[in-house]
Structure 1
Amino acid sequence: MPSPRRGSGADPNPGSDLMTRTPNRRLLVLALATAMTGPAWAQQTVDPQAAFGITPPEQQAPAAPVARPDSNFTVSDIRVDGLQRIGAGTVFTYLPIERGDSVDSSRIAQAIRALYKTGFFEDVRAGRQGDILVFTVSERPAINKLTVTGNKDIKSEELLKGLGDIGLAEGETFDRLSLDRVTQELTRQYNNRGKYNVEISPTVSKLDRNRVDVTIAIKEGKAAKIRHINLIGNEAFEQEDLTDSWESAESNWLSWYRRDDQYSREKLSGDMEKLNNYYLDRGYVDFSVDSTQVAISPDKRDMFLTMGLTEGEVYKVSSIQVTGDTVLPKESIERMVLVKEGQTFSRALLELTADSITATLGNIGYAFAQVNPIPDIDRDDRTVAINLQVVPGPRVNVRRLVFKGNTRTSDEVMRREMRQFEGAWYSQVAIDRSKVRLQRLGFFEPGSVDVQTQPVPGTSDQVDVVVNVKETTSGSFVFGLGYSQLAGVTTSVQLSQNNFLGSGNRISVEAQRNVYLQRYSFSFLNPYFTDGGLSLGYNLWWREFDNSEFNTAQYSSTSASGQMVLGVPITESDTVSALFGIDRNQISTFRGYTPDSIVDYIDALGARTFHSWRTELAWARDTRNDYLQPTRGTLQRVSLETTLPGSTVQFYKLNYEFSKYWPISRALVLNTRIDLGYGDSYGSDSVRVFCQTNPGQPLPTPSGAVMAAAPADCAPGSTYDRTLVASGLPFFENFYAGGARSVRGFRDNTLGPREAAANSTYLQPLGGSLKTVGSLEMFFPTLFDSPAARISAFVDFGNVYKDVDAFDANELRVSTGVALMWRAPVGPISISYAFPLRQGDNDEVERLQFTFGGAF
């Protein structure tokens, strides 16, 4: 096939045209081409084998010998030999010579440099065949595959993206210079992370059709550890006080978790800034770090840091004034100033003042307000005069709210949580509040809600508020199938979704069946039944089970219930809710196997089926900053549940739940939790007298009515047997403690009062009318890189008591242990291992516990 000519006007390989590629990113070739000052034909060919370890493809032989263009001539045609992947049209685009031009050696040299600058070729030569100008080229190889191995500190996605930005990517033209730059940059990046033993080994493998595979093998090694930090020149403060907040520290017993002994240039730079702030916050205006020396051991494993300091003198504030356009009355702005005349200078108070003024102006629409503190330092008197210059900028209106990343959740669900509205003045408080409300939905990854303000092009008084989120699993699906000799075939299906079809509605459906349990339930909640935030929900369930399988007293029950729930928000953090329901509970007991106190309670009532008209009023306050993994804030809930007159048993239950998250540091979050409950009956106690005519045959009173006095009411010929009284909270409404969601380390529901049946010595858990449960739990949010998992250490305590009079603090059970929580794709999973610190003789210990489902 003849070589392509410019005069023909045809491109033999148009599909490979590379005009869209950037031609000037091959700096090495450009430098070589620029260095050519002699005739173009004197240019020496770069040996591809020496540069890349690759033999260039066979050059296409010209039809006749090609001579050096050693004299001026007029170009009748242009031909390019040696092209494989690159189209001739692309080459002609970059050539500064056209057919009909008169050329000499300088113009030909210019053309060669232009082709080198494209970065497509490793060798370019010029020749002449009659009046035809012939360029013979050797193309650079294309990258067939790019592989990075051994990297842990730098993620592969970020690494490949960075390589692509400099042209080192699959499909791009291979350039050794780019590969060398990558090697140097990676070495620098790892050195900044304290890994001085890193080895970067690039390998280039030749393939057919002028292609190569590039492999970058990384051996990261271990980070050098800081063995000693020495501050020189600090006289006013101890070194321990100065370095207390540093991210860099000498190796200590917590370094395995904090990783603070791993040297990093970025961390050290931040620590120097903290050191500077420490002194400026205490009036040392002239403080300076004179020198920073970092020494490394010969094996590159130990680091020694030395900093020389100059403290200077303490400065006082001589005067402070507010200038500029304050927008609000100047007196209002001046009241926000925390720095007072005569005080020791503090940059922290100065910045806090500026932030307060900026936030105040930002809340009334001045999104770009600035407060510039201008100090006037008098070094003779050791004083500083401060001028706070207020620059409000234009008042800004929000044009649009834009939501990104919500692939399932509809915009409407997110929009109704926003407190910043379109068409309203910009408000930083409203935006911050909107962010917290979105995080508390539980639909997005912790910390993934990011709100940005983007100016509208062409205007100075409008912005768009862009909300970026990353969605997470908001539901769970469980299907179980099993078999055991005791329970037979067990099947269960449970589906719960807190964001059903992206609508924000909550739906849960459950079906479970085995020998001992049948349960079917359905619940639905619409948190925005009205635009004002009124929530409406329904709960329906039917259950038949043997309680003995749930670590409670041995009796069976069949129950059903229908409930309606209504919620009304009264503030941003407070909600009042009401529940109204009807339920039916049929109890079956077995004297000799069921504790006598339960059997006597039912006999005293003379009923085994309980009907209830149930109501509940509750108040809740939620100030947590996140639904899934909060790090600060409080959750409180107080509820009163009661049955209405006309119910089989009239009783009430009070519950109080409190949970507060304390951010100790970036790596530690403390949660304090308490759960209290109390219940009792109201109205008159139920009393029933039993008489008997024959032993073992109890006979109720002739009228069958409840009576207060016993012997005199027995029928003639019968004798008094006993009087039974049903009082207090019904046994089937008792509180229970122990288990993975209560006091870990003890079996579910086994703490508190126990009683043996007549035919057994086993003490069965009864529960109680008073519950006291609490916990101290320390979370380690940075121990795992994944936001879906976290670990904690805890101390749990609690118990249940028969009534208030039976409360004894010495009877509280205590356990300690560790827990792992993981938000799996099918729902949250929690695993804990606990050691009881205080336990009773009859307590049932269960150290390893596992739960699936439910929030954590």
Structure 2
Amino acid sequence: MKFTYLAALAGVFYTTFSWAIDPFVVKDIRVEGIQRTEAGTVFSYLPIKVGDTLDEAKATEAIKALYATGFFKDVRIKSEEGILIVEIDERPAIAQISINGAKEFEKDKLLEGLKQAGISESRIFSRSLLERAELELKRQYITRGKYAVKITTTTTPLERNRVAINFDIYEGRTARIKKINFVGNEQFKDSELRGQLVLRKPDILSWFTKNDQYSKQKLAADLETLRSFYLDRGYLEFNIESTQVSITPDMKDIYITINLTEGPQYTVSDIKVAGDMLLPEEEIRKLILLKSDKVFSRQKLTESTKLITDRLGDDGYAFANINASPELDHENRKVAFTFFIDPGRRVYVRRINISGNDRTRDEVIRREFRQMEGAWHSTKNINNSKQRVDRLGYFNSVNIETPAVANKTDQVDINVKVEERPTGAIMFGAGYSDRQGIILNASVSQNNIFGTGNFFSLDANRGAINETYAVSFTNPYFTVNGLSLGFDAYKRVLDTRKLPGFGEFKTDTIGAGIRVGVPIAENDIVSLGLAAENTTIDVFANSPQRYRQFVEEFGKSTNNFPFTISWARDRRDSAIWPTSGTTHRLFGEVSVPGGDLNYYKASYHQKWYFPLTDFLTLHINTEFGYGDGYSGKDLPFFKNFFAGGNNSVRGYDLNSLGPRDDTIFSSTNSTARRLLAVGASKRVVGNIELLFPVPFLKDDRSFRLSVFADGGTTFNRFTSTTVLDADGKLVRVDGLSDLMRYSAGIALTWISPMGPLKVSIAEPLNEKESDNLQRFQFMFGQQF
């Protein structure tokens, strides 16, 4: 039997062949040494087939091809009477991977990281890949401040040429920032500079923010923040010379040293405007926030450039280039700027493309656009359009891009991408009262029915106190110019007998009405409405005297024709997640002559949103209400204003604030006097909230936290006074200052997949013994 070895290794092949082989035709191919690998797998990678002529070049190519698979640690080729024999030694396969001692990371995440490094079950084992995987694990731990981490790897051979890999991890203590030092600062104290940084020494919130753990990315961001801090205060020559990060030998404490050069503070000496000025120079100068003889600020420079760019964009110059060129006077520490203006070509909008609206019709979005196709590009109109679409409340996000049209220098497209959110809801409200226990209510509504933008709601609420059955429909674009039309039909029952501390009565109201809304400006709308309703009133032995007197005067059943008029202005940047802007609503209601009641009511509601930082928003809410009767009649008691509860002054029971009626309460065995809330003709409510995202969910627009302070009440008189009661006795009537109640607390809002969830915990600040408190409140809903 004659054997001729052709090769052992591909790299050795060229140098070890000291003899030549005679080429031969391969009659058959045999694979030897395989344990797990199928012979067909070897054949699929082998570039030699039966019938081919094998020579030295092809043998070398075959060995290189099999080595390249990574499946084998040794490959040999020999021949025997025309038969090609391939002898291989397989690399072991990974049978299992175990990780012990991991607490900082979930094991699944670590396994995923190992897989990306090439180590996972069923893969071919490689010592070099294993070492790379160890380094990857250490890197992940170092990003969490675990500099003392130790990883011990053990490989155990198994049958059928397999191995088991075990990672024993000793995580060690997380290294914390011990101190941040500044070298070279003279104008600002270390404490002030540290306050600009995200990285900091451990404090009471470090467990939550992790800002006491060193991160290269955080440090880079902090250095840029520090640079902006100095440049915004005129230090044009500020420079960070170097940074040193050191860790103690026990791997527990980190010291950061920042070496900087402040340089002199510069003031602005002169502002010039040059280039192709399509606008009057006076108008351009008004947009420049930098002023002569004032300290230089990079922030103002950036904002000035943006204002000029946006202004030119309003006239169609979407690609205007504004370059502010500085001229430094080092000796006098002054800087002059010349704003070079290059408006570029004027462009118009070719097409508006909308995507992401699987449910909402295109026309619902397009009718909110103030930038038209075929019109000159306008930055103001595009931004206004984005805000109007966002304020619809149908979308979680609205993104607009304006790419240039290919091969066109004077055209752009507007690409609108929206992310839809559920707009229908089955709402459930709940609160826990110290006196009532759990209060529940429910309703069904759809703000965007069938994707048309029309509103439809069906309320079917039934509780111990309120019972409501109502149908409402609104078409916000009944006409193409934005005139809206709506209808309402309702049945409302209010029974206060189970409301602790409230004057007892029961009303059953059935009515229907029509509404028309007329837009009078871009963000302003006036609404008119007329309804007809019948109210049946029941009073009881324990009802306040004024309630019984009303029924004696008007009877148990009254007809009323309320006419309503309102003005609303909405300038928020978003309906779901507002950070800036205001809303105003002025509402009036008057009974039309011809009914049994003669009264009028007016209320004003305003909200302000002020962005304090990128993630902090100040929200201020104010509400005022006033009502009275006319033609010698009083305001009906069931038309009174009320306050207290989740939507006014948190921490107090629903509708429990304001004047109280001293009423004799009769029971089976005794009589007693109670102070009952009866509402009033005037209402005042104020709220101030600091809104911010959940710290570890900053980019999630569905979560929002707030700390708040509430105040408000209802009242009949502005000042306290003493009057004669029905029995001729002097009694004290409290005024606004005596009836005001305050509270403070924390709240969470979550637009969850199941619907909106609002939770608040409030502590009353000046409660009295007779007040009914409700410290914990929540509302939740299910959306569809």
Report the TM-score when normalising by structure 2.
0.81
**Alignment partner of 1:650 is 2:624:** no
Displacement after TM superposition at 1:116 (Å): 4.0
Gaps of 5+ in 1: 1-32, 43-67, 482-486, 686-726
Match of residue 560 from structure 1? 510
**In 2: Cα distance, 1:804 partner to 1:759 partner:** 29
Match of residue 183 from structure 2? 232
Matched residue of 1:821: which SS?
Answer: strand
Matching residue's letter, 1:39: F
Match of residue 576 from structure 1? 526
2:538 to 588, 605, 613: 588
2:13 to 39, 61, 67: 39
Displacement after TM superposition at 1:515 (Å): 7.7
Match of residue 619 from structure 1? 567
Question: More relative contact order in 1 or in 2 (CA 8 Å, sep 6+)?
Answer: 2
Q: Deviations over 1:330-388 (max 9, x none)?
A: 66545544445665544333322322232223333343333334445565665555454
Displacement after TM superposition at 1:585 (Å): 0.4
Q: Please say if residues 754 and 782 of structure 2, whose CA atoms lie closer than 8 Å, have aligned partners that are also in contact.
A: no
**Alignment partner of 1:830 is 2:781:** no
Q: Deviations over 1:721-758 (max 9, x none)?
A: xxxxxx32110101111122221221111211222444
Task: From the superposition, tell whether residues 491 and 228 of structure 1 become closer, same or farther in structure 2 (CA, over 3 Å).
Answer: closer
Matched residue of 1:365: which SS?
Answer: coil
2:693 to 765, 770, 781: 781
Match of residue 763 from structure 1? 675
Q: Please say if residues 485 and 516 of structure 2, whose CA atoms lie closer than 8 Å, have aligned partners that are also in contact.
A: yes
Displacement after TM superposition at 1:775 (Å): 1.6
**Alignment partner of 1:74 is 2:48:** no
Matches within 5 A, 1:344-355: 344-355=295-306
**Alignment partner of 1:475 is 2:424:** yes
Matches within 5 A, 1:404-803: 404-445=355-396, 448-477=397-426, 494-513=443-462, 518-551=467-500, 552-590=502-540, 592-605=541-554, 607-683=555-631, 685=632, 727-760=633-666, 761-783=673-695, 785=697, 787-803=701-717
Matches within 5 A, 1:119-130: 123-129=74-80
**In 2: Cα distance, 1:251 partner to 1:823 partner:** 33
**In 2: Cα distance, 1:463 partner to 1:168 partner:** 49
Task: From the superposition, tell whether residues 837 and 515 of structure 1 become closer, same or farther in structure 2 (CA, over 3 Å).
Answer: closer
Displacement after TM superposition at 1:170 (Å): 9.2
Matched residue of 1:749: which SS?
Answer: coil
Matching residue's letter, 1:664: L
Displacement after TM superposition at 1:298 (Å): 3.9
**In 2: Cα distance, 1:661 partner to 1:273 partner:** 28
Q: Deviations over 1:306-341 (max 9, x none)?
A: 111122234455665445555556665455444456
Task: From the superposition, tell whether residues 833 and 363 of structure 1 become closer, same or farther in structure 2 (CA, over 3 Å).
Answer: same
Q: Deviations over 1:747-778 (max 9, x none)?
A: 11121122244444222221100111112222
Match of residue 84 from structure 1? 38
Matched pairs, number: 742
Task: From the superposition, tell whether residues 753 and 122 of structure 1 become closer, same or farther in structure 2 (CA, over 3 Å).
Answer: farther
Displacement after TM superposition at 1:441 (Å): 2.3
Q: Deviations over 1:647-678 (max 9, x none)?
A: 21111111111222233334533222122111
Matching residue's letter, 2:38: Q
Report the TM-score when normalising by structure 1.
0.75
Task: From the superposition, tell whether residues 367 and 491 of structure 1 become closer, same or farther in structure 2 (CA, over 3 Å).
Answer: closer
Task: From the superposition, tell whether residues 291 and 544 of structure 1 become closer, same or farther in structure 2 (CA, over 3 Å).
Answer: closer
Matching residue's letter, 1:38: V
Matched residue of 1:402: which SS?
Answer: strand
Matching residue's letter, 1:777: E
Match of residue 261 from structure 1? 212
Match of residue 768 from structure 2? 840
**In 2: Cα distance, 1:409 partner to 1:219 partner:** 54
Displacement after TM superposition at 1:849 (Å): 2.5
**In 2: Cα distance, 1:111 partner to 1:417 partner:** 68
Matching residue's letter, 2:705: I
Match of residue 319 from structure 2? 368
**In 2: Cα distance, 1:480 partner to 1:833 partner:** 16
Structure (1 or 2) with the greater strand fraction = 2
Displacement after TM superposition at 1:563 (Å): 1.7
Matched residue of 1:271: which SS?
Answer: helix
Choose 155-164 or 570-579, whichever is displaced more.
155-164
Displacement after TM superposition at 1:564 (Å): 1.7
Choose 294-303 or 571-580, whichever is displaced more.
294-303
Matches within 5 A, 1:126-525: 126-129=77-80, 181=132, 184-185=135-136, 187-188=138-139, 190-192=141-143, 194-196=145-147, 224-255=175-206, 259-315=210-266, 321-326=272-277, 328=279, 332-333=283-284, 336-339=287-290, 344-377=295-328, 379=330, 382=333, 384=335, 386-445=337-396, 448-477=397-426, 494-513=443-462, 518-525=467-474
Q: Deviations over 1:171-211 (max 9, x none)?
A: 98777756655654564455345453567789999999999
Q: Deviations over 1:386-425 (max 9, x none)?
A: 4544444444444443334434333333333333343444
Matching residue's letter, 1:74: P
**In 2: Cα distance, 1:159 partner to 1:422 partner:** 51
Q: Please say if residues 94 and 123 of structure 2, whose CA atoms lie closer than 8 Å, have aligned partners that are also in contact.
A: yes
2:746 to 815, 818, 830: 818
Identical positions, percent:
38
Match of residue 719 from structure 1? none
Task: From the superposition, tell whether residues 840 and 282 of structure 1 become closer, same or farther in structure 2 (CA, over 3 Å).
Answer: closer
Matched residue of 2:551: which SS?
Answer: helix
**In 2: Cα distance, 1:219 partner to 1:358 partner:** 56
Q: Deviations over 1:207-266 (max 9, x none)?
A: 999999999999988754323211111112222333333222333345455554333221
Q: Please say if residues 784 and 790 of structure 1, whose CA atoms lie closer than 8 Å, have aligned partners that are also in contact.
A: no
Q: Please say if residues 425 and 782 of structure 2, whose CA atoms lie closer than 8 Å, have aligned partners that are also in contact.
A: no
Task: From the superposition, tell whether residues 773 and 513 of structure 1 become closer, same or farther in structure 2 (CA, over 3 Å).
Answer: closer
Task: From the superposition, tell whether residues 262 and 729 of structure 1 become closer, same or farther in structure 2 (CA, over 3 Å).
Answer: farther
Task: From the superposition, tell whether residues 470 and 97 of structure 1 become closer, same or farther in structure 2 (CA, over 3 Å).
Answer: same
Matching residue's letter, 1:830: K
Q: Please say if residues 40 and 125 of structure 1, whose CA atoms lie closer than 8 Å, have aligned partners that are also in contact.
A: no
